Structure 1
Amino acid sequence: MRVVIAEDLALLRDGLIRLFEAHDFEVVAAVDNAQSLLQALDAKEADIAVLDVRLPPSFSNEGLMAAIEIRRRRPSFPVLVLSQYVEQLYAKELLASGQGSIGYLLKDRITDVRSFVEAVQQVAAGGTVLDPQVVSSLLTRVQREAPMERLTEREREVLALMAQGRSNAAIAARLFVSEKAVGKHTNSIFTKLDLPQATDDNRRVLAVLAYLHQD
Structure 2
Amino acid sequence: MRIVVAEDSVLLREGLVRLLVEDGHEVVAAVDDGPSLVEAVLAHRPDVSIVDVRMPPTHRDEGLRAAIDARSRLPGAPMLMLSQYVEASYAGELLADGSGTVGYLLKDRVARIEEFLDALHRVARGATVLDPQVVAQLLAERRRDSTLAALTARERQILALMAEGCSNAAVAGRLGVSASAVEKHIGNIFAKLGLLPDDAHHRRVLAVLSHLRG
* TM-score normalised by the chain length of structure 1: 0.66
Secondary structure of 1:143's aligned partner: coil
Shift of 1:53: 0.5
**Structure-2 separation of matches of 1:101 and 1:95:** 9
Residue number in structure 2 paired with 1:202 = none
CA RMSD, aligned part only? 1.9
Residue number in structure 1 paired with 2:54 = 54
Q: Please, which runs of 5 or more residues in structure 2 have no aligned partner?
A: 147-214
Contact preservation (8 Å) 2:37, 2:67: no
**Structure-1 separation of matches of 2:93 and 2:129:** 15
**Structure-2 separation of matches of 1:140 and 1:92:** 15
Paired AA for residue 142 in structure 1: R
**Structure-2 separation of matches of 1:4 and 1:56:** 17
Residue number in structure 1 paired with 2:116 = 116
Shift of 1:96: 2.1
Secondary structure of 2:3's aligned partner: strand
The answer to which structure, 1 or 2, has the higher relative contact order (CA under 8 A, 6+ apart) is 2
**Structure-2 separation of matches of 1:39 and 1:97:** 21
**Structure-1 separation of matches of 2:68 and 2:83:** 15
Deviation string, structure 1 residues 64-101 (Cα, Å, up to 9, x no partner) = 11111122111211100000010122122112223221
Residue number in structure 1 paired with 2:211 = none
Structure 1 residues 100 and 33, CA gap change in structure 2 (3 angstroms) = same
Shift of 1:42: 2.0
**Structure-2 separation of matches of 1:57 and 1:102:** 24
Residue number in structure 1 paired with 2:67 = 67
Shift of 1:135: 0.7
In the alignment, structure 1 residue 37 sits paired with structure 2 residue 33: no
When structure 1 is superposed on structure 2, of 121-130 and 97-106 the one drifting more is 97-106
**Structure-1 separation of matches of 2:94 and 2:137:** 15
In the alignment, structure 1 residue 23 sits paired with structure 2 residue 23: yes
Residue number in structure 1 paired with 2:175 = none
Structure 1 residues 104 and 20, CA gap change in structure 2 (3 angstroms) = same
**Structure-2 separation of matches of 1:107 and 1:122:** 17
Secondary structure of 2:80's aligned partner: strand
**Structure-2 separation of matches of 1:45 and 1:133:** 30
> Runs (4+) of structure 1 moved beyond 6 Å?
none
**Structure-2 separation of matches of 1:50 and 1:8:** 12
Secondary structure of 1:80's aligned partner: strand
Query: How many pairs align?
Result: 149
Q: Please, which runs of 5 or more residues in structure 1 have no aligned partner?
A: 148-215
Paired AA for residue 120 in structure 2: V
* TM-score normalised by the chain length of structure 2: 0.66
Whose Rg is larger? 1
